[in-house]
Amino acid sequence: MAETRKHYPYVRSIQTRWNDNDQYGHVNNVIYYSYIDTAVNLYLIEEGGMNPQTSPVIGICPESHCTFIKAIAYPESVEAGVRVVHLGRSSVRYEIGIFSKAEEDISASAYFVHVFVDREKRRPTNIPAGIRKALQKIYVESTAHSKKLSEHGPRY
């Protein structure tokens, strides 16, 4: 069964841009990572109160992965669905679905890991309370997709 927006508790609209398309006429693979990073970090800013310029604790990404399923092209609008499937002391693993607004089925499926670190020392630290509370709101029990992915790499 294909995943749809209903599988993600947070969905964010993102407008494609003229320069997102590559010479093959569709959004270039690296741009999907930009959509993923945008959706995750906007959630942390808007819902968790994170300030990327001044927060004493920041999230760094040691691991990410994206599987491309269907092409998207400018001028389509896309939606990025975000959910949390692992919430540790200092780390979180998100799963992100990228959807064309024109279609219900997923166009790309990704995961993204944040390890929260002290801004100055760059050492892992506890996830701040406000961010943890926001992450708990979009936490879902492990999905078949996350179980499959967890077999391929470290858990933080």
Kindly report, residue by residue over 1-43, the tens digit of the pLDDT: 678 999 999 999 999 999 999 999 999 999 999 999 999 999 9
Q: What is the distance between the alpha carbons of residues 118 and 74, in angstroms, rounded to a whole number?
A: 38
In a domain, 156, yes or no: no
In a domain, 85, yes or no: yes
Q: What is the distance between the alpha carbons of residues 80 and 12, in angstroms, rounded to a whole number?
A: 5
Domain assignment of residue 87, given as a range = 5-150
Contacts of 86 (CB under 8 A, 6+ apart): 92, 93, 142, 146, 155, 156
Indicate the number of domains in the chain.
1
Tokens 């993204």 locate to 112
DSSP H helices, the chain, are 29-48, 129-137, 144-150
CB 83 within 8 A of CB 140: yes
In a domain, 155, yes or no: no
> Is the whole model's pTM more than 0.75, yes or no?
yes
